[in-house]
């Protein structure tokens, strides 16, 4: 893989905060089982939640779930099935805000958990910017490794669509 071949996406950020092996697999375009029940449930929640909002805005290497008008401008929102992986969700949304800011669009964000009837506001801070810059560098480092990082058993493994790549 050549260095110019990879754009870091929100999905890379999401997986980076859960499992570095998943980052490597995704960088090789090895996709998880798409019929996995957890992936299907996530798609269903995304499609059925917030029907009045504009969904799936694709801006090159980032795909935003919802864009809506807020009090002080536009708000971007990321819809998640559960808040169980809150750090990954926060960083993914912060990455979208970070990338939009690079385009001159200053927005705020919301994490939405429709099953939990919960919304969490996210603002891009200088600390988050710095952490994201470090994460992007490390994602690229992982992606260009010759071999994937060794699998590590974590709680996420039980419901991971990539499980067969690690534990078969």
What's the whole-number mean pLDDT along residues 121-150? 96
Q: What percent of the chain has pLDDT over 70?
A: 83
- With a cut of 60, say whether residue 104 has pLDDT above it: yes
Task: Identify the pLDDT of residue 19.
Answer: 94
User: What CATH number does residue 52 fall under?
Assistant: 3.90.320.10
Token readout for 121 is 């506001």
Alpha carbons 114 and 3: distance in angstroms, whole number: 38
Q: What is the pTM of this model?
A: 0.84
- With a cut of 70, say whether residue 35 has pLDDT above it: no
With contact defined as beta carbons under 8 Å apart, do 112 and 73 qualify? Answer: no
With contact defined as beta carbons under 8 Å apart, do 7 and 60 qualify? Answer: yes
Average pLDDT, the chain: 85
Output phi, psi for 103, to 5 deg.
-90, 0
153-163 pLDDT, tens digit each: 988 888 788 88
Other Cβ atoms closer than 10 A to 130: 10
Q: Which of 46-50, 84-88, 137-141 has the lowest mean pLDDT?
A: 46-50
Can you give the residue range of the structural domain that contains 150?
3-167
Number of domains in the chain: 1
If you compute the radius of gyration of the chain from its CA atoms, what whole number of angstroms results? 16
Residue with tokens 């690229």: 140
With contact defined as beta carbons under 8 Å apart, do 77 and 109 qualify? Answer: yes
What's the whole-number mean pLDDT along residues 70-83? 86
């Amino acid at each position: 893989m050549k260095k110019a071949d990879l754009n870091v996406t929100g999905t890379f950020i999401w997986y980076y905060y859960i499992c570095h092996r998943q980052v490597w697999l995704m960088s090789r375009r090895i996709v998880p089982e798409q019929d996995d029940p957890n992936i299907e449930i996530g798609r269903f929640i995304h499609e059925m939640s917030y029907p009045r909002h504009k969904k799936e805005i694709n801006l090159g290497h980032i795909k935003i779930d919802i864009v809506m008008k807020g009090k002080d401008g536009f708000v971007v929102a990321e819809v998640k099935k559960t808040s169980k992986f809150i750090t990954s969700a926060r960083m993914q949304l912060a990455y979208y805000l970070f990338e939009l800011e690079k385009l001159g669009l200053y927005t705020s964000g919301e994490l939405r958990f429709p099953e939990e009837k919960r919304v969490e506001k996210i603002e891009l801070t200088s600390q988050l910017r710095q952490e994201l810059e470090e994460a992007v560098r490390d994602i690229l480092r992982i992606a260009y490794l010759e071999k994937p990082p060794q699998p590590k058993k974590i709680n996420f493994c039980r419901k991971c669509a990539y499980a067969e790549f690690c534990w078969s």
